[in-house]
Amino acid sequence: MMNLKPLSRAVRQVITVGGTVGLLGLTFAAQADTDTACFGPSNLTDATLRAETAQPATLNICIRPVHDGRAAVLLPDAQQAIDDVALEKGLDGHRWGFLDNRGQLVIKPVFEQVGDYYYGLAAAQQKGKWGYIDNTGNWVIQPIFDKAGNFTQVDLAVVNNAGKNEIINRKGQTVGKPLDALVDDVQLSDGNPARLALNYKTVLLSPDDKRHVANDKMEVVLPFGQSGLFIARDADQGYGIASQNLDWRINPQFSNITLNDSNTALAIAKTQDGVQLIRTDGVLNDKTYQSVSPLNDKFWLAKTADKNSLLDNDGNEIASLSNEAVAGLTVQGEFLLDNSGKENLTVFVPGKKQIITLPKGSVPFDQPSGSFLLTTRGDQHKVNAIISPDGSLIGGAQPVNWLAQVNNAEVINGRLWLHDEQGALINIIDNAGKTLLNAKNVAALNDYRIQPLNDQQTDKSSPLALIRPDPDASKAGAGFIRADGGVQIEGKWQDIEPADSSESARSGLAQQFIVKTAQGTGVVDAQGKTLIPLTEDNIAPFINGYALDYQDGKLTTIDTHGKHFALPNEFELQSVGNGWFRFRETAAEGALWGIYDVVNQKVIVGPNYQSVGTFENGLADVQLPNGQWGIIDAGGKLLVAPDYASVRRINNALWQLTLPRKTPDQPASELQSEIIANDGKVRIGLTTDLNVNQFNDGRILATSAEGQSWLLDAQGNIELHEQQTKITAVGDWVKLSRQPQIGYLNAQGIWQIQPQILPSSAFVNARALRIQPQGTELIDEKGVRVAAMPDGNWQLPAGSDMSVSYDTEDGKPTTRYVDTTGKLVITTPGIGSGMQGGQAVLSEADGNKTWIDAQGHPSAAINFSGLGLISEGLAFAQVGENYGYINAQGSFVIPPVFNAVSAFNSGVAIVSTAKMSMMLDATGKPLARVDHECGIQVLYGSGNTRLWPQTMPVKCP
C-alpha cells in the first residue's frame, strides 16, 4: 500500500521548484564573502532536494554558471585604481562583470550586483539601484528600482519601485493592473503564461480598531508581555520583537524566540552562540548563556561555561550557584529553597534581594500553600515559619507559639487560612504577612463553623467568611469575619448562608446573604443591613434571580426585591430565569417540562420539552423528546426550529447551533454549525468545524477548518469577513493574514488565469499543476482541467517533460512520472529528478545515482555518487569529493578533479577548485580562469594571459 507524504510538502515543492524568480536583493553579494574560496555549499542544503533537481552539493562563486552565453564574474572594480582595490577589506573593492562563452571579458566589472541573463537581459545594480542591461552591458532599462527580478518567457519582470511592487515589460513600462498595496512579496516564474505568486503583508487590528500594517516581511507570531509587544519573524532575517506600531523594537536577528509555558516573563532568544533573554518591556539582555530555563514562574536558572546564575523575571542575577547548590534547589510554589549541605535553609523570595535564612532542618510543609511558604521542623513536623508573598517572616529564628498548632493551611482569595488538628481556625494571614485575627477574636470564633467566601470582591467592606453556629455547640448567633480581621456576630441570627446560587452572576445577589432568625428568614447585605425583611417562613438560595419561599405555609417564589409570586400546583418547579419556571406535572420517568411565567401568572408552554435552558433576553433554548434543540421566544413560539443536536448561548446576542451527526460515527471535526442572533437571523451560515472564541472586550472570533474566519462585535454584527483572509487572535489584537494567491499573466501583464489561493506550478510544455482540496489536477494555458492526477505529491520541475511525485511505498522512497495527458507512465524505487529529453537522474537506496529513460529503465553502466542530466552531450559526475564530466556512455571526458561544477550551456561549463574558477569547453580546455592573487581576483584567458585587471597592484611581486 502506498503511503503518501503530507500535502504540505507537495505544496512547498510545487511553489518553490520550477523556475520561480523573486526580486533580487543581496543574494549574490553574500556568496562572495571575505573567504577567497571560489566555491561554496549549494543553496539546496537538503540532500533530497538536490537529488530531486539533479544538482551538485557545491556551487561556483568566482565565476557563476553560464546563462544565455554570459557568465557573471567578480573582479576588481573597473572604476577604481587597482591599488585602492587591493587596500579594500576582503572583496569590497570588487564588482561584477560578464564573460562570453569564449572566456572574454565582454562587460567590465562595474556592477555592485547582477542577476543572470534571461532572454537577452540581466538585472544589474549601480549606486544601490537596479535596472537591466543587454548582452553588451548597456542599460536598456535605467537603474531606478529598489529590487528587480529576472525577465521571463513572456517578456515580463517584477520590480520594486519606491516600495511598490510592479510588473514591467522590456521597455521598462508598467503593465497590467496595479498590484494591491498590501502585496509584500512577488514571485514571477518562467513559462507561458507566467505564474505570478503574491504574498501579502500582515495587518494587525488593535483593540481600538486601528489597522497596523507589518512591513519588511514581518509575520507576527505571539503577543509578548503587557506593553503591546509581539514576537515576530522576518522571512529572511529571523526573529525579533515588534512594537504595537509594527516597527522592530529588537531587529530580527535570532534563529528563534520562544516563551516557556511555565513562565512568560522573559522571552528566550536563540543565537548561534547560545541564548539571550528579552524582558517584556522589549529590552534585550546582552549576556549570552549556554542555556536558560525557568525554575518556576518567578525564577530562572541560567548556565554559562563557568557558572550557574539564578535570575529574576527581569533577567537580573540574584545569586551565583555552585553545581551542588543547583542540585539541592527545591521549588516550593513561588519560592526557591537551597538546602545543599549548609548550616541553615536558605530561601529566595520573589522580588526580594534579601535572602531569608531559616533554622537548620527546616523543610517545606507537605500541603500546597500557594504564594505562601510554610516550613516545618523536627520529628513531629511542626510548623516553625511562614513567609508571605512580600517576604515577611513569621517565626523562623524567633519562635511563635501558635505556629506549632497549625495542621492545615489553605489559600483563599490571596489569604492564608490556618487550622489546627481539630479543624478550628487558628488565624488568617494576608499577603503582607499580617495576622488578621487577634487572640480575642480567635477565642470568640471557637465552637463556630467558619465558611470562607470564595468570591473575588476587592471591596474592603466585603466579608472574608460567614460565621455559622455549630449544632453541637452551645454558642448562639451568626455573622461575618471582616476583611480587617474584625468579627461581627449577631446573637439573634440563627444561621446565615449566601443568597447567591451557582447562577449568582445573573441573579444580582453577590455579597447578599440569607439570614434565619426565630421570627423568620430574610436577606441582608455584606454590612448586615436588611434588604428583605426577616419575616419570611423560609427562603431557599436564589436561582436565576428567584427563590422558593414558604409564606403562611404555602410555596411561593420571591424575587431579589422581596416581591412574592404565586406558583402553580405542580409536582416539580425550577427557576430558569427572568420569572420563568419550568414545571413537571408528575414524577413519572421521562416526564416532560412545561414553562410557567410567574410574573404574568400564566403557562407559556405545556409539558412538551425534554429540557428547558436558561431564559434570558426574551429567549430560551428547548429540547424536544426526540433530543433535538431549538429556541423559543417570550411567547413560547419557536424562533429557531428544533433541528439541532445542540444549542449554545455565546453571549447576550448570539447562539451557536450544531446539526446532528449524519452517521453515528461522524467525527466532531466534520459537524456543521451556524451562528444565529436573537432576532432569529443567521449571522454565519452552516460551516464545518466552526470554532468560536471571545476577546476580553466582547468581540467574537469565529473560524473554520477550511480557513474561513469572521470577526463579530458583541452584538453579533460582522466587522470583518475579508475574502480569502484568515483572521486570528493575537492576545487582544486581531491578525489579518490574507492568504497567498497564484495566477498567470499573459505578455501584456493581464491575468490569463485569475489568481486563486490554490497552490499551483509554473507552466512547462503548456501544462501546469493545480492542487485542489480533492487532489491535484493538470491544467492547460486557459486554466482548464486536462486530467486528474493520481494521488500523490506532484510537482512539475522546470524543463521537465513529465510531472513527478515523491512518495513512500513499503517504507521506501518511490518516484512516479505522469505525462502531459495525465497518464502514469513510470513508477520506480528511489528519488528521481525531472525528466528532460527522455532522461532523468535516479538516486537509489544506497545513495548512488544512475540515469533512467522515459520508460524508467536504468542505465546499467552508470553509477556515481553525484550525477547530473546530460546537457549538450555531457553531464557532471562525482567520484569521491570531486566532480568531472562524462558522455552518454558514462566515460569521463573531463576528469573528476574539481570541487564545484555547472551544467554545460552555450558550449561551456564553469568549474572551481578551492582557489580558482574556470570556464571549460567540451574538450576540457580552459578558456578563462579567476585566481586570487595579491588580495584581488585576477582573470586569465586561455593562453594564461591576464585579461583583468590591466595592471597589478604595486605591492604585488
For the chain, give the mean pLDDT.
Answer: 90
What confidence category does residue 354 fall into, taking pLDDT thresholds of 50, 70 and 90?
Answer: confident
CA distance 707 to 686: 14
**E strand residue ranges, 810-848:** 812-818, 824-829, 831-832, 839-843
pTM for this predicted structure: 0.72
How far is CA 384 from each of CA 176, 372, 736, rounded to the nearest angstrom?
81, 14, 56
> Which amino acid, residue 622?
V
Lowest-pLDDT range, 359-363, 453-457, 530-534, 564-568? 453-457
CA distance 957 to 943: 21
CA distance 226 to 223: 8
Which residues, including other chains, have CB under 8 Å from residue 569's CB and lie 6 or more apart?
none
How far is CA 606 from each of CA 581, 601, 639, rounded to the nearest angstrom?
12, 14, 17
pLDDT of residue 30: 33
Nearest Cα to 576, choosing from 657, 636, 486, 516? 636
How far is CA 184 from each of CA 221, 336, 910, rounded to the nearest angstrom?
17, 48, 35
Which of 27-31, 41-45, 820-824 has the largest mean confidence?
820-824
Residue 351 has pLDDT above 80, yes or no: yes
Residue 29 has pLDDT above 60, yes or no: no
**Model confidence pLDDT, tens digit, residues 268-285:** 999 999 999 999 999 999
Q: What are the extents of the domains in the chain?
A: 20-179, 208-287, 454-566, 588-721
Which residues, including other chains, have CB under 8 Å from residue 246's CB and lie 6 or more apart?
204, 212, 213, 214, 215, 218, 220, 230, 232
> Which amino acid, residue 827?
T
**Model confidence pLDDT, tens digit, residues 594-629:** 999 999 999 999 999 999 999 999 999 999 999 999
Cell of 126: 549601480
pLDDT of residue 506: 45
> Which amino acid, residue 666?
Q
What confidence category does residue 44 fall into, taking pLDDT thresholds of 50, 70 and 90?
Answer: confident
**Model confidence pLDDT, tens digit, residues 565-594:** 999 999 999 999 999 999 999 999 999 999
Nearest Cα to 161, choosing from 131, 188, 122? 131
Residue 129 has pLDDT above 60, yes or no: yes
CA distance 123 to 115: 5
CA distance 631 to 646: 11
Residue 466 has pLDDT above 90, yes or no: yes
How far is CA 747 from each of CA 171, 175, 700, 762, rounded to the nearest angstrom?
13, 9, 45, 15
pLDDT of residue 457: 54
What confidence category does residue 21 fall into, taking pLDDT thresholds of 50, 70 and 90?
Answer: very low
Task: Output DSSP code: residue 670.
Answer: G
Fold of 208-287: Thrombin, subunit H (2.40.10)
CA distance 717 to 267: 37
CA distance 916 to 899: 10
The gap between the terminal CA atoms of the chain, to the nearest Å, is 69
149 within 8 A of 22, measured Cβ to Cβ: yes
**E strand residue ranges, 749-792:** 751-756, 768-772, 775-779, 785-788
- Helix, strand or coil, per DSSP, at residue 597: strand
110 within 8 A of 77, measured Cβ to Cβ: yes
425 within 8 A of 419, measured Cβ to Cβ: yes
- More confident position, 924 or 52: 924
Task: Output DSSP code: residue 283.
Answer: P
What phi and psi, each to the nearest 5 degrees, are found at residue 235?
-60, -30
The pLDDT of 394-413, averaged and rounded, is 92
> Which amino acid, residue 760?
S
What confidence category does residue 455 fall into, taking pLDDT thresholds of 50, 70 and 90?
Answer: low
What confidence category does residue 458 fall into, taking pLDDT thresholds of 50, 70 and 90?
Answer: low
CA distance 279 to 249: 12
- More confident position, 533 or 339: 533
CA distance 340 to 324: 6
- Helix, strand or coil, per DSSP, at residue 887: coil
pLDDT of residue 720: 86
Torsion (CA) 796, 800, 802, 805 in degrees, nearest 10: -40
The pLDDT of 59-72, averaged and rounded, is 96
Cell of 776: 491535484
Residue 429 has pLDDT above 50, yes or no: yes
CA 829, 834, 838: angle at the middle one, nearest 5? Answer: 90
pLDDT of residue 724: 79
389 within 8 A of 334, measured Cβ to Cβ: yes
What phi and psi, each to the nearest 5 degrees, are found at residue 653?
-120, -15
Percent of the chain with pLDDT over 70: 94
